Chain A
């Protein structure tokens, strides 16, 4: 079962500590080593992106930043045996943020990929 994990959040004023990056790399290494992490990457702030919207038959193209309070930060694709496993890996990831970057708040949405058994 394949899951897409989308991390979004609000960064505090403080810069992310280097220990967080290190811990994320380490956890990613463990997940890859366990054979469950297929792909992952960080996302630049939406200021560098754009949005193509369709409403009422009208295409609208706008440059970022988007006005949502939470920015998408990264994605990951996991191949696991159950939703519980996906939740467990994601929880480990979120705990790193809790422990290493005080004030950071966010969420990971876990969505199952269709048709990829």
Chain B
């Protein structure tokens, strides 16, 4: 036997091996869940494969197809497990019947089928992790763990929660899935749309947790946005015929394209109008517009994510605030208001209408939703701006003062106070 050339130390390192495992683990866990029927068992088996790799690769070198190696190793552990279980069941039932052959063949069958439909397995796993029997935060934690391949420590850090809390949330979620006998299956056509919606909700929740960090010192956590984008792109590859999947990907790519421009040099939030558009990420804008075209090309009535992406695209295409197609933005908010009615959408529509058709038209809309948005900072902020532009300075001053008193953010408060002072 010839000794293969010794690979450089880097490739034998723990970090390199764990990286391969991290890339491959979602597909391995998905395939093993199909075989064993249990997510927890599948994760343990995949973890076993990592342990074996960490023992063997530094000594024998990294195999040529490390992903296939990990999959095969985990698969063999799964088959061993099935055989042991079958043996156990057989012993319970008495030895002597022709169980040996049937057990053999069932293990071989499993073996043959593992290579097939790996993408389908991954999709099944996503649907299980995002099943509506789980709360949205549980779905998010489980999805990041199983599909994102994040550790509980990383998930805890991302959501600013103690690791044990996340670990417990994941354990409970897996137990609920087992107790409720959630099938490892692609939903039937009749419930597909709502189940896809449940998956998209989780991905967008993760994205927003990063985009507008609801807690903590940072007001953005870009790595969570990146994670959500990765999940979205993965889903778009698995379900290319679902327009809302492309719609959400488009929305996230376009919003993420502004991440670099959303904070000033001193770290303060910058509104869309104040951002240096040269800092927008052109690559993500292009990808977002491409995803939007894919959604449109499917030729169905646009859903809420696609419409929001269309709005984001209007901003992405515009070189400046003045250059923005505000009539189109206003029309899109009208469509969005029909698809998912909310006073916040109406307030956004008020801003767009004011830009397109003048402040008094916008103010009418803002006034209509005022009673539905008590304590919402943006309401007096928008009304103040529109009143200011109409020259109704006294009323504008009162609105800005109210906005300043409502916000918890020091930077925002200073901004509204300054605007109140500008009213004379």
Contact = CB atoms under 8 A, between A and B. Distances in A.
A binds B: yes
Interface in A45-101: 77, 79, 81-82, 84-85, 87-88, 91, 95, 99
Contacts of B119: 33
Contacts of A79: 226, 229-230
A77 B281 CA distance: 13
B19 A95 contact: no
Given A91-B11, A117-B226, A117-B259, A35 B232 contact: yes
A88 B223 contact: no
Given A36-B230, A85-B22, A85-B23, A116 B16 contact: no
Q: Classify chain A: how many residues form its interface, as a range.
A: 20 to 34
A44 interface: no
B133 to A, nearest CB: 26
Contacts of B237: 32-33, 35
Contacts of A81: 22, 223, 226
B413 to A, nearest CB: 28
Q: Classify chain B: how many residues form its interface, as a range.
A: 20 to 34
Interface string A16-56: 00000000000000001111101100000000000000000
Contacts of A85: 19, 22-23
Given A95-B64, A116-B260, A117-B259, A35 B229 contact: yes
B359 interface: no
Contacts of B226: 79, 81, 117
B176 to A, nearest CB: 27
Contacts of B232: 35
A88 B230 contact: no
A117 B23 contact: no
B233 interface: yes
Contacts of B23: 34, 85, 88
Interface in B246-260: 259-260
A117 B231 CA distance: 16
B167 interface: no
Question: By CB atoms of chain B within 10 A, which of A35, A36, A39 has the most?
Answer: A35
Contacts of A34: 23, 230, 234
A117 B18 CA distance: 22
Nearest to B260: A115
A116 B281 contact: yes
Interface string B15-52: 11011101100000000000000000000000000000
B231 A35 contact: yes
Q: Which 10 A-B pairs have the closest CB atoms?
A: A35-B233, A35-B230, A117-B222, A84-B19, A33-B237, A35-B234, A84-B15, A88-B19, A85-B19, A84-B16
24 contacts: A32-B237, A33-B237, A33-B238, A34-B23, A34-B230, A35-B229, A35-B231, A35-B233, A36-B230, A38-B287, A39-B283, A79-B226, A81-B22, A84-B15, A84-B18, A84-B19, A85-B22, A85-B23, A88-B16, A88-B19, A91-B11, A115-B260, A117-B259, A117-B260
